[in-house]
Amino acid sequence: MGSSQLLVLGVVLVCVSFSAARFLRTRAPNYLGVGVKPAAAAPERRPSRKSTQQAAMFRAQQIQPVDDSLSWRFPEDPVDSVKVTPVNFELRQPETDNRVAVRCGESRIQVEVSQDLHGLGKLIDPEDITLGGCSPTEIDDWAHVLVFEYELHDCGSQRVMTEDDLIYAFTLIYEPKVSDGSHITRSQSAVIGVECHYTR
């Protein structure tokens, strides 16, 4: 036999001996065909009377007695110590100036409209406002007032009769024109109802 064969044979024997040793560890040894009986289990040890009493006392100390009355309550709402407001606060209503005035005659209506219609300090163009399609009859440049004076049957008026009154209703329409082809309206449009009531 060559040295290489002896070397291979040695490696095989070593592997076999390791596998046999592992196999022997996993099961109980059997010598010469004689089976080995497993060792008898040790008898179950029962706790002594003293240890049972100690365990019961320990459990009793761990359990807290039940108390029906709760000592915890919801907290009270916080109370401000300041009873009076520190500043004399008064809610102010915005001041409203009359922007439209109406005078009803026997057969005519006179409507005066401030050119500062929205109260923003910007004067409206007289061409942008009509009374039912009728233009202003007068323009007061000093007071910045537009005057409409027409017959009760003119300017698209609507006549409504109730049990007690005869009513002439007009519509004051403000439609600002778009300026310079920019498609931007510089003010907000408005529609205001104007009425004259006459007792029947």
What pLDDT shows up at residue 112?
92
Question: Residue type at 44?
Answer: E
Q: Which residue has the tokens 């009986």?
A: 37
Domains, the chain, in order of start with CATH, read 100-199 (2.60.40.3210)
Q: What pLDDT digit, counting tens, does each position of 14-33 carry?
A: 666 666 555 555 555 555 55
**Which residues have C-beta within 8 Å of that of residue 117, sequence separation ≥ 6?**
99, 124, 129, 174, 190
Q: What pLDDT digit, counting tens, does each position of 27-75 carry?
A: 555 555 555 555 555 566 666 777 777 777 777 776 766 666 667 777 7
Helix (H) or strand (E) holding 25, with range, is helix 3-26
What pLDDT shows up at residue 96?
44
Question: Which string of b and e fits 31-52 if b means at least 16 CB within 10 Å?
Answer: eeeeeeeeeeeeeeeeeeeeee
Tokens of 12: 């095989």
> pLDDT averaged over the chain?
75
Does residue 88 register a pLDDT over 60?
yes
Does residue 156 register a pLDDT over 50?
yes
State the distance between the two ends of the chain, measured CA to CA, in whole angstroms: 147
What pLDDT shows up at residue 147?
94
Does residue 94 register a pLDDT over 50?
no
Does residue 98 register a pLDDT over 80?
no
